[in-house]
Structure 1
Amino acid sequence: MTSVVNPLHFTGQVMKFIEGTRVVTEGELQANNITHYHVTKFYREQITDGGYYDQLKYIVEPSVKEFESPGSLDTSGEHDNTVVPGLQHKYAQTGLLLVTDRCASYCRYCFRKRIVGKDSEEIAPDFAQVAQYIGRHPEMTNVLLSGGDPFVLSTAKLNKILDHLLPIAHLDSIRFGTKMMAYEPKRFKDSALPALFRRIHESGKTAIIVTHFDHIGEISVDAERKIRSLRAQGVQFLNQSVLLAKVNDDPEILAATFAKCHQVGVRPYYLFQGRPVKGASHFQVPLRRGLEITRGINQRLSGIQKTFKYIMSHYTGKIEILDLRDDGRVYMRYHQNKVPEKIGKIFSRPHVEAACWLDDLPEG
C-alpha cells in the first residue's frame, strides 16, 4: 500500500543519525525507546525537493538527542482511561479507538512510541466488544480511529470496523486521525474509499479526517488535490499540528501552514504543546516561547483563519494555554476534562523559566 525507503540508515550495528553515524545495539535502542528509521519515498522526496529539508528532516530522521530525552511513555494517562482493550474513554462524548500499531512513516516526536512499530497489546482485538461498550454509553457521540495510522489499514479492514460502529444510533461522527495525507497521499486515490465515506453519510453520521500537517512544506500538491476531492464527497477536514523545536517553532511558518490549510478547506484545530515523551522531549518548546509564537501566528491571520487552540494534552485533560501575564503567572483553562464542572475553568500557576509542561509549574 505504501512505498518505504530505508537507505542504509540501519546496517548491522551502525545507525545513521542527523549528527552522524553511531554504533548502537538493539538493546540500546529498546532501552531508550528509539524507533528505527522508516519513511515513505513520497515524503522523502517532498521534503528534499520542497525547500524545507533543514526543518522537516527532524520529523523523520533519528537524532542522538533521543538517547538523552527523559520523560514518560504515556504522558496523557492512556492506560488509565482504557475501558476495554483498544478503546479509551477519557472524555464523556469521545471514544478513542486504537486500530493499528503501524504508521506509513515514524515521527521522531511520536507520543505513542510505546506502541508504534511494535506488536502492541493495546490495539483493539475485538470490535464487537468495543461496540458493546459504546452502545452502553449514549453520552459518547463520536469515535476517533487512531493508532498508529488507520489509513495504513486496507479499506476493507476499515469497513469491517465500521460494521460495528455505524449501527450505533447515538454516534454522530466518525473521525480518522491520520498523517497519511502528508506521508502518502496516493492512499486516498483508492477507488473503494468513496463508498466507505458514503456508508458513513448514509448512516446519518459525519465523516471527519483529522490531518496532521506540522509545516507548510508537508502540504503537497497531491495532498491538496485529494483533500479537495474528498471535501466534494462530503468529508470534513480538521488539522492538528505539534509545536516542535527546530521544525516549526516560528510564527511565520505556522501562520503560513494554517493559512494554507484554510485555503484548501482544512480547519486548523489544535496546535499541541510538545509532550515530555521519553526519547522525544528534546522537541519541546518552552511555554513562554510557545505563547510568543501563538501571538505571532494570530497577528498574521485573518479572523476566519484563527480557528486553532494552543493545547497541552495533559494527564488531567486538554488544557488551553492562554497567556503569561505581567504577574508572572501562566493562565490556562480546561478545554476538556473528565470532570465536566472543570471544563472552561480558568486557572493559573507561577511561571518558571524554561517550563514546557504543566508539571514544570509549581502549584500555588
Structure 2
Amino acid sequence: MQQVVNVQQPIITPRKFKVYQHRQLDKIEALKKVPDDMRFEMKVVANVLPFRVNEYVFNELIDWENVPNDPLFQLTFPQKDMLEPSAYQRMADLMSGKHTTNEVFDLATQLRDEMNPHPAGQMQMNVPHVDGEPLPGMQHKYRETVLFFPAQGQYCHSYCTFCFRWAQFVGKATRFNSNDADQLHRYLAQHKEVTDLLVTGGDPMVMRTRKLAHYLEGLLQPEFEHIKTIRIGTKSLTFWPYRFITDPDADDLLRLLERLVDGGKHVSIMAHLNHPNELRTEVCQEAIRRLRATGVQIRCQAPLLKHINDDPDVWASMWEKQVQLGLIPYYMFVERDTGAKRYFEVPLERTWEIFQKAYQQVSGIARTVRGPSMSAGPGKVEVQGVTEIAGEKVFALRFIQGRNPDWVQRPFFAKYDPDATWLHHLKPAFGEEKFFFEDEYSKMSAMD
C-alpha cells in the first residue's frame, strides 16, 4: 500500500500593508540608489499618471541591481518617456519653478485629457440604461457579460504603469463605480441573456470580504440561476498575496468563494500577471494553493508591453509557470490606445510574432491562451497572423468577442502596415472601402 505523504504548508508571517503614493516617493528607501535626475523625472510623471506601490512589491519583486531595466520596476514606477516630450517638458518646467498645488493639478488635468482617458466607447456605449437613465458603475458591452465596478474597489494594492483604467485613479475624472447592490441585482434579474458577472475596478480584492459578499451572495438566489459565472478581476495575487493568507478576513474571503462554488457558480479569478518574476515568491504560491482549494479557477491575462515582456521567452516561461501552479493561461492583449501607450505599445506584426514564437515553445496544456487581442470599440479583435493572399500582404484578423455576436469568429483582412499598433491604424485589404462591421458599428455609435 502506497504511503500518503503529507506536504507541510509554509508558515507565512503576517505583514502590515504599507503603501506609497507620489507625494511619498522620497520616503521609499530603495529609491535612494536612483540618481537625483531620475527621481525628479518620476515625480513629474507621477503628477500626471497614477502612482501607488506597496512595500511587498518593491522589496520582494524588484531587483534593484537591475534598475531601471527590471521589469517589475518598469511595471510600477513612472518613467520619463511615458509622457509625450512636450507634455513632460511643460510639467517639468512648472515643477522646476515656483508653483502652487492648484497649478500642477490644472496642468495635469489638461495633459490627461490629451491621453484618450476613456477608450473604446466606455463612457458612451458601454453603460446600460433603465427607463432612459444610465446605471452608474456598470458596463454591458457584450451580450453575455456585465461588468460591475464596486465603489469600495476603485483603487489597487499597487498601480501598473500601463493600466488602461488609469483615469479611474487620478484627479476629479469621471469614474465608473457604484455601491448599489440592489440596482446591480435588479438589472441582472431583468436580463436573462447575461450569464457572466465580472467584478472589476480598480481591484475588488482591496475590499473587505463583507463588502464583496454584499454584492455576490445574493446571486445564489433562484432568480439568478442564469448567472453561471462570477469573475473577479484582480492583481492582488502577485501584488498583495497576503490578502488570501494573513489579512484579518482572509479566511472569510476563502469561505465566501467556497459558498459561491458550492452554490453552483463557476468562480473565476481573473489574475493580471505581466511577468514570470511575479510568481516566484513563496507567499504568492501559497495564496494560489489556498485559492484553488476553494474550488475557484484562476485564469491569467496581460498585455504585451515594451520594456516589460516583449520577448517570446518571457511569455513561454510565464505560461509554463502558470500551468505548473495550476493556473490557466487565458489572454495576451495588445496594449490599449490610452495613457502611456507610446511607451509600451509594440507594432501588431511584432506582437503577433512574439505570440507565435512563445506559443511554439509550450505544450498543448498551455495553449488555452488566446491573442494577441485588441479590446477595441467594436469588440475583441485577434491578430491571427501576417500572410499573403493573391499577391497582397495582409493581416488576418477575427473577432473573439463583438458588440454584435454575429461578428464573432468571422475572418477579415487588413492591408499590411508594419507600423500599425491598433485597429484604427488598419485599412481593409483587397480594395474594400470598409471592414464588414463598420457600418453597423457606426449606427451603434450614433445611437449612444
- Give the Cα separation in 2 of the matches to 1:175 and 1:340: 21
Q: Residue 138 of structure 1: CA displacement?
A: 0.5
Q: Identify the match of residue 3 of structure 1 among 11, 18, 26.
A: 18
Residue 273 of structure 2 is matched in structure 1 by: 213
Aligned counterpart, 1:62: 78
Q: 2:377 is matched with which residue?
A: 315
Correspondence for 2:387 = 325
> Which 5+ residue runs of structure 2 have no aligned equivalent?
1-15, 28-33, 86-113, 129-134, 433-448
SS of alignment partner, residue 291 of structure 1? helix
Range 135-144 or range 53-62, more displaced: 53-62
Distance 1:82 1:150, change over 3 A: same
How far apart are 1:328 and its partner, in Å?
1.8
Secondary structure (helix, strand or coil) at the match of 2:142 reads coil
Aligned pair partner of 2:199 in 145, 161, 171? 145
CA distance in 1, matches of 2:408, 2:329: 21
Give the Å deviation of 1:203: 2.4
Q: Could you give the per-residue CA deviations for residues 81-113 of structure 1, whole angstroms, max 9, x where no partner exists?
A: 111211111111111111222111111101011
Name 1:204's counterpart in structure 2. 264
* Deviations, residues 299-337 of structure 1 (Å, cap 9, x unaligned): 110111111111111111011110011332111100001
Find the counterpart in structure 2 of residue 107 from structure 1: 160
Match of 2:52 in 1: 38
**Mapping for residues 95-134 of structure 1, pairs under 5 Å:** 95-99=146-150, 100-116=153-169, 121-134=175-188
Distance 1:256 1:229 in 2: 23
Task: Determine if the alignment matches structure 1 residue 81 to structure 2 residue 132.
Answer: no
What letter is aligned with 2:415? P
Deviations 1:62-99 (A, max 9, x none): 01122218642122222221112111111111111112
Change (3 A) 1:241 1:125: same
Residue type matched to 1:205 in 2? K
CA RMSD of aligned residues (A): 2.5
Number of corresponding residues: 356
Matched-pair identity in %: 31
Question: Would the alpha carbon gap of residues 180 and 161 (structure 1) be closer, same or farther in structure 2, given more than 3 Å must change?
Answer: same
Take 2:297 and 2:66, find their aligned partners in 1: how far apart are those partners? Answer: 28
Q: Name the CA distance, whole Å, in 1 between partners of 2:66 and 2:40.
A: 25
Instruction: Give the counterpart of 1:183 among 239, 250, 261.
Output: 239
5+ residue gaps, structure 1 = none
Out of 172, 180, 188, which is 2:228 matched to?
172
Amino acid at match of 1:67: L
Q: 2:177 and 2:299 mapped to 1: Cα distance?
A: 24
Distance 1:303 1:158, change over 3 A: same
Question: Is the CA contact (8 Å cut-off) linking 2:137 and 2:177 kept in structure 1?
Answer: yes
Structure 1 residues 122-147: Cα deviation after superposition (integer angstroms, max 9, x where no partner): 10231211111111111101101100
* Map of 1:223 onto structure 2: 284
What residue in structure 2 maps to residue 362 of structure 1? 427
Structure 2 counterpart of 1:82, one-letter code? V
Asked if residue 92 in structure 1 is aligned to residue 143 in structure 2, the reply is: yes
